[in-house]
Amino acid sequence: MKKIFKFMPILFLVTFSVNAQEGAEAGKAIFNNRCASCHAVGKKLVGPDLKDVDQRHNQEWIVNFVRHSQQVIKSGDKAAVTLFEEYNKTLMPDHLDLTAADIDHILNFIKEESVKVANAPSSPIVPDRYKPYKGESSLWHQILYLDLPGNHTPVTKNDTQFWFVLTVIFIVIVSVFYAVVKVNQFVDKLDKNNPPSNQ
Protein backbone atom coordinates (compact mmCIF):
# COMPACT_ATOMS: atom_id res chain seq x y z
CA MET A 1 0.00 0.00 0.00
CA LYS A 2 2.78 2.42 1.02
CA LYS A 3 4.68 1.72 -2.20
CA ILE A 4 1.73 2.80 -4.26
CA PHE A 5 1.72 6.17 -2.48
CA LYS A 6 5.37 6.64 -3.38
CA PHE A 7 4.55 6.15 -7.03
CA MET A 8 1.54 8.44 -6.95
CA PRO A 9 3.39 11.61 -8.01
CA ILE A 10 5.03 9.79 -10.90
CA LEU A 11 1.72 8.29 -11.93
CA PHE A 12 0.17 11.73 -11.73
CA LEU A 13 2.93 13.29 -13.85
CA VAL A 14 2.71 10.55 -16.50
CA THR A 15 -1.08 10.85 -16.71
CA PHE A 16 -0.83 14.60 -16.85
CA SER A 17 1.72 14.68 -19.68
CA VAL A 18 -0.15 12.00 -21.65
CA ASN A 19 -3.31 14.08 -21.23
CA ALA A 20 -1.57 17.23 -22.48
CA GLN A 21 -0.28 15.29 -25.47
CA GLU A 22 -3.69 13.86 -26.29
CA GLY A 23 -5.14 17.32 -25.84
CA ALA A 24 -2.65 18.74 -28.30
CA GLU A 25 -3.56 16.00 -30.82
CA ALA A 26 -7.26 16.80 -30.52
CA GLY A 27 -6.44 20.51 -30.60
CA LYS A 28 -4.46 20.07 -33.80
CA ALA A 29 -7.46 18.49 -35.55
CA ILE A 30 -9.80 21.31 -34.46
CA PHE A 31 -7.20 23.95 -35.32
CA ASN A 32 -6.69 22.57 -38.82
CA ASN A 33 -10.44 22.36 -39.47
CA ARG A 34 -11.59 25.58 -37.92
CA CYS A 35 -8.71 28.06 -37.53
CA ALA A 36 -5.96 27.26 -40.06
CA SER A 37 -7.70 29.15 -42.88
CA CYS A 38 -6.98 32.38 -40.99
CA HIS A 39 -4.29 31.55 -38.43
CA ALA A 40 -0.88 29.94 -38.27
CA VAL A 41 1.77 29.64 -35.57
CA GLY A 42 4.86 31.60 -36.55
CA LYS A 43 3.20 33.52 -39.40
CA LYS A 44 0.54 36.17 -39.83
CA LEU A 45 -2.27 35.21 -42.22
CA VAL A 46 -5.75 36.77 -42.34
CA GLY A 47 -5.66 36.79 -38.53
CA PRO A 48 -2.77 37.32 -36.10
CA ASP A 49 0.15 34.93 -35.65
CA LEU A 50 -0.97 32.74 -32.73
CA LYS A 51 2.58 32.00 -31.54
CA ASP A 52 2.65 32.43 -27.73
CA VAL A 53 -0.93 33.75 -27.74
CA ASP A 54 -1.36 32.21 -24.26
CA GLN A 55 1.25 34.70 -23.03
CA ARG A 56 -0.65 37.67 -24.44
CA HIS A 57 -4.06 36.90 -22.88
CA ASN A 58 -5.35 34.77 -20.04
CA GLN A 59 -7.22 31.54 -20.75
CA GLU A 60 -10.64 33.02 -19.95
CA TRP A 61 -10.13 35.88 -22.42
CA ILE A 62 -9.07 33.45 -25.15
CA VAL A 63 -12.05 31.14 -24.55
CA ASN A 64 -14.45 34.08 -24.73
CA PHE A 65 -12.81 35.56 -27.79
CA VAL A 66 -12.76 32.29 -29.72
CA ARG A 67 -16.38 31.51 -28.83
CA HIS A 68 -17.79 34.96 -29.63
CA SER A 69 -15.18 37.57 -30.53
CA GLN A 70 -17.73 40.23 -31.51
CA GLN A 71 -19.35 40.09 -28.09
CA VAL A 72 -15.95 40.66 -26.44
CA ILE A 73 -15.19 43.53 -28.81
CA LYS A 74 -18.59 45.13 -28.25
CA SER A 75 -18.15 44.87 -24.49
CA GLY A 76 -15.34 47.40 -24.96
CA ASP A 77 -12.49 45.07 -23.96
CA LYS A 78 -9.41 47.15 -24.78
CA ALA A 79 -7.18 44.34 -26.13
CA ALA A 80 -10.02 43.01 -28.32
CA VAL A 81 -10.93 46.43 -29.72
CA THR A 82 -7.29 47.21 -30.52
CA LEU A 83 -6.89 43.87 -32.35
CA PHE A 84 -10.12 44.39 -34.28
CA GLU A 85 -8.94 47.85 -35.42
CA GLU A 86 -5.47 46.52 -36.24
CA TYR A 87 -7.01 43.85 -38.48
CA ASN A 88 -9.22 46.39 -40.30
CA LYS A 89 -12.36 45.14 -38.57
CA THR A 90 -12.07 41.66 -40.08
CA LEU A 91 -14.73 39.48 -38.46
CA MET A 92 -13.53 36.35 -36.75
CA PRO A 93 -16.48 33.93 -36.90
CA ASP A 94 -18.08 32.69 -33.67
CA HIS A 95 -17.28 29.16 -32.53
CA LEU A 96 -20.10 28.65 -30.04
CA ASP A 97 -19.96 24.87 -30.42
CA LEU A 98 -16.40 24.78 -29.06
CA THR A 99 -16.24 24.11 -25.30
CA ALA A 100 -13.65 25.53 -22.92
CA ALA A 101 -12.02 22.07 -23.00
CA ASP A 102 -11.82 22.12 -26.83
CA ILE A 103 -10.20 25.54 -26.72
CA ASP A 104 -7.80 24.32 -24.03
CA HIS A 105 -6.78 21.51 -26.42
CA ILE A 106 -6.24 24.05 -29.20
CA LEU A 107 -4.06 26.08 -26.85
CA ASN A 108 -2.00 22.99 -25.96
CA PHE A 109 -1.43 22.47 -29.66
CA ILE A 110 -0.51 26.16 -30.16
CA LYS A 111 1.94 25.96 -27.21
CA GLU A 112 3.65 22.90 -28.75
CA GLU A 113 3.87 24.60 -32.12
CA SER A 114 5.20 27.81 -30.54
CA VAL A 115 8.09 25.86 -28.98
CA LYS A 116 8.82 24.21 -32.35
CA VAL A 117 8.82 27.57 -34.13
CA ALA A 118 11.07 29.12 -31.46
CA ASN A 119 13.57 26.25 -31.79
CA ALA A 120 13.56 26.16 -35.58
CA PRO A 121 16.95 27.01 -37.10
CA SER A 122 17.02 30.64 -38.11
CA SER A 123 17.66 31.41 -41.73
CA PRO A 124 19.96 31.59 -43.58
CA ILE A 125 20.81 27.92 -43.02
CA VAL A 126 24.54 27.60 -42.47
CA PRO A 127 26.19 24.96 -44.69
CA ASP A 128 27.81 22.03 -42.86
CA ARG A 129 31.34 22.83 -43.94
CA TYR A 130 30.89 26.13 -42.25
CA LYS A 131 29.93 24.86 -38.83
CA PRO A 132 33.38 24.38 -37.24
CA TYR A 133 34.09 28.04 -37.85
CA LYS A 134 33.14 30.36 -35.03
CA GLY A 135 34.07 33.93 -34.35
CA GLU A 136 34.83 36.93 -36.46
CA SER A 137 35.60 36.68 -40.17
CA SER A 138 39.34 37.01 -40.75
CA LEU A 139 40.70 37.66 -44.24
CA TRP A 140 42.17 34.13 -44.21
CA HIS A 141 38.78 32.67 -43.35
CA GLN A 142 37.09 34.72 -46.06
CA ILE A 143 39.49 33.43 -48.72
CA LEU A 144 39.40 29.82 -47.48
CA TYR A 145 35.60 29.64 -47.42
CA LEU A 146 34.97 32.03 -50.34
CA ASP A 147 33.07 34.08 -47.80
CA LEU A 148 33.94 37.32 -49.54
CA PRO A 149 31.23 39.39 -47.89
CA GLY A 150 32.47 38.06 -44.53
CA ASN A 151 28.96 37.47 -43.27
CA HIS A 152 29.03 33.65 -43.00
CA THR A 153 27.20 33.17 -46.32
CA PRO A 154 29.94 31.94 -48.62
CA VAL A 155 29.81 32.36 -52.38
CA THR A 156 28.35 29.28 -54.05
CA LYS A 157 28.53 28.01 -57.61
CA ASN A 158 25.06 29.49 -58.18
CA ASP A 159 26.22 33.06 -57.61
CA THR A 160 26.47 33.74 -61.37
CA GLN A 161 26.98 37.45 -60.88
CA PHE A 162 30.04 36.84 -58.72
CA TRP A 163 31.58 34.37 -61.16
CA PHE A 164 30.83 36.68 -64.10
CA VAL A 165 32.60 39.62 -62.43
CA LEU A 166 35.52 37.36 -61.49
CA THR A 167 35.83 36.17 -65.14
CA VAL A 168 35.73 39.76 -66.44
CA ILE A 169 38.45 40.80 -63.97
CA PHE A 170 40.56 37.79 -65.07
CA ILE A 171 40.14 38.69 -68.78
CA VAL A 172 41.04 42.34 -68.10
CA ILE A 173 44.22 41.33 -66.21
CA VAL A 174 45.28 38.92 -68.98
CA SER A 175 44.56 41.56 -71.67
CA VAL A 176 46.58 44.21 -69.84
CA PHE A 177 49.46 41.75 -69.42
CA TYR A 178 49.27 40.83 -73.12
CA ALA A 179 49.17 44.52 -74.11
CA VAL A 180 52.23 45.32 -71.95
CA VAL A 181 54.20 42.46 -73.56
CA LYS A 182 53.17 43.60 -77.05
CA VAL A 183 54.10 47.26 -76.39
CA ASN A 184 57.46 46.11 -75.01
CA GLN A 185 58.11 44.04 -78.15
CA PHE A 186 57.16 47.04 -80.31
CA VAL A 187 59.49 49.37 -78.40
CA ASP A 188 62.30 46.79 -78.69
CA LYS A 189 61.76 46.65 -82.46
CA LEU A 190 61.85 50.46 -82.73
CA ASP A 191 65.11 50.48 -80.71
CA LYS A 192 66.67 47.89 -83.03
CA ASN A 193 65.64 49.77 -86.17
CA ASN A 194 66.78 53.18 -84.85
CA PRO A 195 69.82 52.56 -82.65
CA PRO A 196 70.77 55.61 -80.57
CA SER A 197 72.94 57.85 -82.73
CA ASN A 198 75.75 58.17 -80.14
CA GLN A 199 76.68 54.45 -80.42
Give one DSSP letter per residue of the chain, joined into a string: -HHHHHHHHHHHHHHHHHHHHHHHHHHHHHIIIIITTT--SSS-SSS---TTHHHHS-HHHHHHHHHHHHHHHHTT-HHHHHHHHHTTTPPPPP-TT--HHHHHHHHHHHHHHHHHHHHSPPSSPPPGGGTT--SS--HHHHHHTT-TTSSS----TT-HHHHHHHHHHHHHHHHHHHHHHHHHHHHHHHHHHS--TT-
- Name the segment binding ligand HEC (CB under 6 A); options: 90-98, 120-128, 133-141, 164-172: 90-98
65 binds ligand HEC (CB under 6 A): yes
Select the residue interacting with ligand HEC from 66, 108, 109, 154 (CB under 6 A): 66
Q: Which residues between 103 and 122 bind ligand HEC (CB under 6 A)?
A: 106
56 binds ligand HEC (CB under 6 A): yes
Q: Which residues between 138 and 197 bind ligand HEC (CB under 6 A)?
A: none
Select the residue interacting with ligand HEC from 20, 34, 100, 147 (CB under 6 A): 34
**Interacting residues with ligand HEC (CB under 6 A):** 34-35, 37-39, 46-48, 50, 53, 56-57, 62, 65-66, 69, 83-84, 87, 90, 92-93, 95, 106
